[in-house]
Each structure stands twice: as C-alpha cells, then as structure tokens.
Amino acid sequence: MIQGFLILLAFQLLGELLVVVFALPLPGPVIGLVLLLASLLGLGRIPDSLKKTSDGLLSNLALLFIPAGVGLILHFDLLASEWWIILLALLVSTVVATLVTAALFQWLMSRVGGEK
C-alpha cells in the first residue's frame, strides 16, 4: 500500500513541478493525474499496489470532503452576502453543461450510425 501512495505522490509532485517550471495555469495535481492516466494507458494495466491504495482512498472518499465543509463554515458571511451570485453561477453552469452534453451525445450518436 505504501508503494501505491508513493506512486500517487510522485505523480502529484511531477505535476506540481511542471506547473512551477512552465508556469502552467492548471493545478499540479490535475496535471499529475493526467500523466498518471497516460502512463497507466501505456502500461496497459493497473499495478496491484496502486489498485489497492486507490480502492482504499475511494472507499473513504467522504472523509476527504470534511476540509471543504469546514472551509464553507469559515466563509459563511461571504456566502450569505453573495448567495445569489453563487446560485446564478450554479444554475447557468448546470444548464450549459446539460446542453453541451446533449449536443455531444447527439453528435456522437450520429457518427456511430445511431438514431438522430
């Protein structure tokens, strides 16, 4: 399990290094996960240690949201004063994501010969 954590942390560190060196506008962990995905696709399998570690993390995923919840409580005054902007952003992003997903699905179905 330690080897799985080391793999995950190594890719996160690599992502952080790339962000710092190339001044990329993306979070380092996101770049690290993309690199991890590319390496796993190239390898063609998931190492057992990484699978065991990731299964353990995913089974306890709810615990990882506790810091975010604490952050919301710490900024409750800001949330109370700007709730309508947050609500508007959530509604607009939900509608846009739904429309883009539907259009992409329709386009993909037409490409594979499905019903239009």
Q: What is the per-residue pLDDT across 21-50, written as a single tens digit (0 to 9) for each?
A: 999 999 999 999 999 999 999 999 999 999
Task: Collect all residues with Cβ–Cβ distance below 8 Å to 51 and sequence separation of at least 6.
Answer: 4
Distance in angstroms (rounded) separating the CA atoms of residues 16 and 36: 13
Q: In 10 A of CB 68, how many CB atoms?
A: 8
Task: Kindly report whether the global pTM for this prediction surpasses the value 0.75.
Answer: no
Percent of the chain at pLDDT above 70? 97
pLDDT category of residue 115 using cuts at 50, 70 and 90: low
**36 vs 75, which has greater pLDDT?**
36
**pLDDT average, residue stretch 6-19:** 97
**pLDDT average, residue stretch 72-92:** 92
DSSP string computed for 78-94: HHHHSHHHHHHHHHHHH
- pLDDT over 70 (residue 114): no
pLDDT at 42: 96
pLDDT category of residue 113 using cuts at 50, 70 and 90: confident
CB 46 within 8 A of CB 40: yes
